């Protein structure tokens, strides 16, 4: 958008005011549909959710009036706030592990020469051919009391038949494990992109100047790939805070997350007031985080580029 | 039960579960909210109280629209020449729109959708009435009404008006592995769901009401469907203190059965179908008759307030609760039916035993407690605390 605007401005400056109005119209025309889409399917619903959260709209007819009671209840030590922090904590763990695990993969791929790297990249992306839902379900088969891991433990005699590792499934551990598994290919992509575009001459220069491979990595490669790392981190962190499926399928009693609470409020509890508060709060926090990350990203780019 | 029938019955029970609810919540809530704001239903209190003088059936448009669970539609339900054909042959096939859960149905109607009749469960009747979108049935237009089980009929009344025609029902009771589990003192009780000896092997149902209701019956509360805030708080603290015993809270019947059969779970809140599934898988299981009484669920029909097909809706529901329909549903989906005028020799003996179909007393208080309509405010009080139990 910024580039377009610049181009438009440049052209306008070159050809005078008559031309400007023309390009302005074209830009407006091109942007109209996406803007309309955003307004109708994002901004309007967000405003509505806000209005529900302050009881200006409500599920049942009658009794609509402005009140911040639901917000006060939520912020005043409700269990949902604790659940929110738990979700943030779990999202942090998932994103850090995913990034650390994906980095070597991306690094290896980026440094490969020729077409081989794209073949391998495709292989890494292959799990996306199977639906997210099915991949989660598959983990249930692996982690259950009679699952692959426990069966192996019984077989080797490391564990008695009636004493399975039951924390493998229906636990926070299971949620974190499955999410990390799901996100690794996702996370490898932006890191791969930033490493792939790395100027190799910098590494040669660093070697020429006597840096060890580790030093080169730490002082050259890692800082230059930071935008990719941060982008990957955001890719995982933001959606994981509101994660719904994984806790539902493998989380059990202890693995519940904030997204499940929101779904329950709108669904089985029919408490749209509270649900709207939770949703809007999540939206606020995520928007805030995005703003912070975006700023950080740009600063890094400027500093390193 | 044949595999095919089993598959069909699951399709329907899956319809109630949380997975599909997701569709309504994630996709729907935003859009529904968007539509709902403009098309918010008028407070239609007058529509629910005034008695409508219905015109003769041939003056109605006849384009009946039924908001129904998947698997309950003609011809899947009953077959082409089966239970629903008396209606279809006379008035044509209704238009079906499928609901995936009670709350999704409420959300959709709240957003302005108007079918002619809906098939919710009885404990939501209060919500429908309070939303002002339904009217009482004229029971004199339903020929099978006299044969419907009185306890269920009574459960569908609010302020003396028949807002709900009971149709399908079933028991809920603790299911357990008799080779692994020994109930306290050898007596079946709902307290088995809170038994410390079986930590990590228990599964409660993921539901805003029933876990509190169970606590109520275990603790001798007179009407656990209408507990005070203090009682609910006490129940909440108890459930929080016991939830570590649970491996999970199940929300999909098929998932629960898979976990039960895989040995992840030994004790669970369950419907009759899960007992059949566990038995078929060769497990030693008991579908208990707890000393506090079994719970029962019951779904049926509500009539939309401004329907143009008042008499068509009555005819359709009359067909749906007929003895032919009841036999088909029991034999094919293993659910109970409200119509008591049944020839039990045409029912699988196993099902007769599980549902106590030959023993009406087993389906009445105090041996069985059917779900009752709750006012929206009370449902919210239960639900809020259940959400706190889960979040804690």
Q: Is residue B320 within 8 Å of B167, Cβ to Cβ? A: yes
pLDDT in tens, A77-130: 888 999 999 999 999 999 999 999 999 999 999 888 788 888 888 888 888 889
Mean pLDDT across B321-339: 90
How deeply is A133 buried, as exposed, middle or buried, from its count of CB atoms within 10 A (0-12, 13-18, 19+)? Answer: exposed
* One-character DSSP codes across B216-236: HHHTT-S-GGG--HHHHHHHH
Report pLDDT digits (tens) over A216-272: 999 999 998 988 898 899 989 999 999 999 999 999 999 999 999 999 888 888 888
Would you call B240 an interface residue with chain A, using a CB distance cutoff of 8 Å?
A: no
Q: What residues in B contact A83, CB-CB < 8 Å?
A: 391
Which three-class secondary structure state does DSSP give residue B104?
helix
Chosen for mutation from B264, B266, B388, B392 (greatest number of chain A CBs closer than 10 Å) is B264
Start-to-end Cα distance in chain B: 41
- Position with higher pLDDT, A77 vs A299: A77
Find the mean pLDDT for residues B64-75.
Answer: 94
Contacts of A131 (CB under 8 A, 6+ apart): none
| B386 close to A (CB below 8 A) | yes
Cβ contact B33–A57 (<8 Å) = yes
Q: Is the pLDDT of residue B198 over 80?
A: yes
- Cβ atoms of B172 and B297 within 8 Å: the answer is yes
Each residue's pLDDT tens digit, B254-291: 889 999 999 999 999 998 889 888 988 999 999 999 99
Beta carbons of A61 and B37 less than 8 Å apart: no
Task: Answer whether the bond into residue B366 is a cis peptide, omega within 30°.
Answer: yes
Residue B55 phi, psi dihedral angles, 5° rounding: -70, 165
Window 15-44 of B, Cβ < 8 Å to A: 18-19, 21-22, 24-26, 29-31, 33-34, 36-37, 40-44
Chain A: residue nearest B24 by CA? A267
Task: Assign B8 a pLDDT band (cuts: 50, 70, 90).
Answer: very low
Output the pLDDT for position B252: 84
State the sign of the Cα–Cα–Cα–Cα dihedral B384, B385, B387, B391: positive
Contact in structure between B195 and B322 (CB atoms under 8 Å): no
With tokens 């629209």, the residue in question is B65
Tell me the DSSP string of B343-392: -GGGS-HHHHHHTTTT-GGGGSTTTEEE-----HHHHHHHHHHHHHHHH-
User: Can you give the C-alpha Rg of chain A in angstroms?
Assistant: 25
For the segment B159-176, what is each residue's pLDDT rounded down to a tens digit? 999 999 999 999 999 999
Mutate to test the interface with B, among A41, A43, A61 (most CBs of B within 10 A): A61
Q: Which residues of B touch A146 (CB under 8 A)?
A: 262-264
CA angle B10, B16, B22 (to 5 degrees): 115
Task: State how beta strands B134-135 and B246-250 pair.
Answer: unpaired
C-alpha separations of A112 from A83, A106, A228 in Å = 43, 10, 18
Residues A78, A1: Cα–Cα separation, whole Å? 42
Neighboring chain A residues of B259 at a CB cutoff of 8 Å? 144
- The shortest C-alpha distance from B284 to chain A (Å) reads 17
User: Which chain B residues are within 8 Å of A253, Cβ to Cβ?
Assistant: 243-244, 246-249, 390
Tell me what ipTM this predicted complex has: 0.75
Contacts of B390 in chain A (CB under 8 A): 253, 256, 260-261, 264
Of A78, A145, A267, the CB nearest to B263: A145
Residue B385 touches partner A, C-beta closer than 8 Å: no
Residue in A with minimal Cα distance to B21: A267
CA–CA distance, A194 with A198 (Å, rounded to integer): 6
> Is the peptide bond prior to B263 cis by the omega test (within 30 degrees of 0)?
no
What is the pLDDT at residue B11? Answer: 38
Distance from the Cα of B280 to chain A's closest Cα (Å) equals 19
Phi-psi region of B357 (alpha: psi -120 to 50; beta: other; left: phi over 0): alpha
* pLDDT at site A269: 82
**Cross-chain residue pair B36–A57, CB shorter than 8 Å:** yes
SS3 per-residue string spanning A238-271: HHHHCCCHHHHHHHCCCCCCHHHHHHHHHCCCCC
Residue A172 has phi, psi (to 5 degrees) of -60, -40
Cα separation of A117 and B338, whole Å?
Answer: 65
Compute the distance between CA of residue B305 and CA of residue B133 in angstroms, rounded to an integer.
5
Closest among A204, A280, A292 to B33, alpha carbons compared? A280
- The residue among B39, B57, B154 whose CA lies nearest residue B108 is B39
Average pLDDT, chain A: 86
Is residue B62 within 8 A of residue B87, CB to CB? The reply is: no
Q: How far is CA B150 from CA A38, A165, B154, B292, B360, in A?
A: 54, 50, 6, 21, 11
Chain centre distance of CA B206: 14
Q: How many Å lie between the alpha carbon of A121 and the closest alpha carbon of chain B?
A: 32
Interface test mutation site (partner A, options B268, B387, B389, B390, max chain A beta carbons within 10 A): B387
More confident residue, B39 or B244: B244
User: Would an 8 Å CB–CB cutoff place B388 in contact with chain A?
Assistant: yes
pLDDT tens digits, one per residue of A10-63: 444 444 455 566 778 888 888 999 999 999 999 999 999 999 999 998 877 777
Q: Which helix (H) or strand (E) holds A233?
A: helix A222-241
Q: Are A225 and A199 in contact (CB under 8 A)?
A: no
Q: Report the DSSP beta bridge partners of residue B121.
A: B299
Whether residue B96 is predicted with pLDDT greater than 90 in this model: the reply is: yes
The β-bridge partners of B271 are: B172
Q: Decide if A244 contacts A263 (C-beta within 8 A).
A: yes
Hey, are the CB atoms on A48 and B31 less than 8 Å from each other?
A: no
DSSP state of A302: H
Chains A, B: CB contacts within 8 A come to 131
| pLDDT tens digits along B100-151 | 888 889 988 988 899 999 999 998 998 899 889 999 999 999 999 999 999 8
Q: Is the minimum CB–CB distance between B198 and chain A shorter than 8 Å?
A: no
Q: Whose structure tokens read 């044969």? A: B147
User: Residue A1: pLDDT above 50?
Assistant: no
Q: What SS3 state is found at B180? A: coil
Which among B18, B42, B106 has CB closest to A61? B42
- Comparing CA positions, the residue from B222, B266, B224 lying closest to residue B245 is B266
Give the start-end residues of each E strand in chain B: 65-69, 95-99, 117-118, 134-135, 157-158, 161-162, 165-177, 202-205, 246-250, 267-271, 285-287, 294-304, 336-337, 368-370
Could you tell me which of B55, B64, B54 has the C-alpha nearest to residue B88? B64
């Amino acid at each position: 958008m910024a580039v377009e605007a610049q181009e438009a401005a440049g052209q306008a400056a070159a050809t005078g005011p008559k031309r400007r109005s023309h390009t302005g119209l074209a830009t407006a025309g091109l942007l109209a549909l996406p803007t309309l889409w955003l307004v109708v399917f994002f901004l309007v619903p967000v405003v509505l959710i806000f209005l529900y959260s302050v009881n200006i709209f409500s599920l049942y007819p009658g009794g609509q009036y402005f009140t911040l009671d639901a917000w006060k209840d939520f912020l005043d030590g409700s269990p949902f706030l604790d659940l929110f922090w738990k979700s943030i904590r779990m999202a942090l763990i998932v994103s850090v592990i995913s990034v650390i695990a994906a980095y070597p993969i991306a690094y290896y791929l980026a440094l490969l020469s020729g077409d081989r790297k794209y073949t391998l990249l495709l292989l890494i992306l292959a799990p996306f051919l199977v639906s997210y839902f099915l991949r989660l379900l598959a983990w249930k088969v692996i982690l259950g009391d009679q699952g692959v891991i426990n069966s192996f433990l019984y077989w080797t005699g490391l564990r008695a038949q009636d004493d399975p590792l039951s924390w493998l499934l229906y636990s926070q551990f299971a949620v974190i494990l499955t999410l990390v598994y799901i996100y690794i290919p996702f996370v490898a992509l932006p890191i791969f992109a930033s490493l792939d575009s790395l100027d190799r001459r910098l590494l040669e220069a660093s070697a020429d100047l006597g840096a060890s491979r580790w030093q080169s990595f730490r002082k050259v490669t890692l800082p230059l790939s930071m935008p990719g790392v941060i982008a990957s981190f955001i890719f995982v962190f933001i959606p994981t805070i509101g994660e719904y499926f994984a806790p539902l399928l493998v989380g059990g009693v202890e693995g519940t997350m904030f997204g499940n609470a929101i779904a329950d409020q709108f669904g089985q509890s029919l408490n749209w007031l509270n649900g709207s508060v939770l949703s809007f709060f999540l939206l606020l926090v995520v928007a805030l985080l995005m703003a912070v990350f975006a700023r950080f990203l740009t600063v890094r780019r400027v500093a390193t580029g | 039960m044949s595999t095919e029938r089993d598959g069909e019955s699951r399709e329907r029970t899956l319809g109630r579960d949380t997975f599909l609810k997701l569709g309504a919540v994630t996709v729907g809530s935003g859009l529904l909210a968007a539509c709902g704001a403009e098309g918010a239903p008028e407070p239609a209190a007058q529509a629910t109280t005034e008695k409508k003088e219905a015109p003769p059936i041939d003056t109605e448009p006849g384009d009946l629209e039924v908001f129904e669970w998947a698997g309950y539609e003609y011809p899947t339900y009953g077959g082409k020449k089966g239970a629903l054909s008396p209606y279809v042959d006379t008035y044509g096939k209704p238009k079906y729109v499928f609901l995936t859960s009670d709350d999704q149905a409420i959300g959709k109607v709240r957003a302005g959708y108007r079918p002619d009749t809906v098939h919710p469960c009885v404990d939501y009747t209060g919500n429908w009435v309070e939303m002002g979108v339904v009217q009482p049935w004229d029971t004199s237009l339903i020929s099978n009404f006299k044969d419907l089980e009185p306890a269920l009929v009574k459960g569908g009344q609010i302020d003396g008006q028949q807002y709900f025609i009971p149709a399908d029902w079933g028991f809920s009771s603790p299911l357990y592995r008799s080779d692994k589990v020994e109930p306290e003192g050898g007596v079946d009780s709902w307290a088995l769901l809170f038994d410390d000896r079986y930590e990590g092997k228990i599964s409660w149902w993921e539901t805003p009401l029933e876990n509190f209701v169970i606590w109520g019956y275990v603790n001798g509360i007179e009407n656990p469907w209408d507990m005070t805030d203090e009682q609910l708080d006490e129940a909440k603290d108890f459930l929080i203190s016991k939830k570590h015993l649970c491996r999970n809270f199940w929300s999909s019947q098929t998932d629960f059965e898979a976990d039960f059969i895989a040995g992840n779970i030994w004790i669970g809140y369950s419907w009759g179908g899960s007992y059949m599934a566990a038995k078929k898988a060769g497990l030693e299981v008991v579908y208990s008759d707890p000393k506090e009484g079994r719970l029962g669920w019951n779904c049926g029909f509500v009539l939309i307030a401004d329907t143009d097909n008042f008499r068509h809706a009555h005819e359709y529901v009359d067909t749906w609760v007929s003895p032919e329909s009841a036999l088909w549903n029991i034999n094919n989906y293993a659910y109970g039916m409200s119509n008591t005028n049944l020839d039990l020799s045409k029912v699988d003996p196993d099902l007769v035993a599980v549902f106590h179909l030959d023993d009406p007393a087993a389906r009445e208080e105090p041996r069985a407690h059917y779900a009752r309509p709750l006012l929206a405010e009370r449902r919210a009080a239960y639900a809020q605390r259940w959400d706190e139990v889960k979040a804690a």
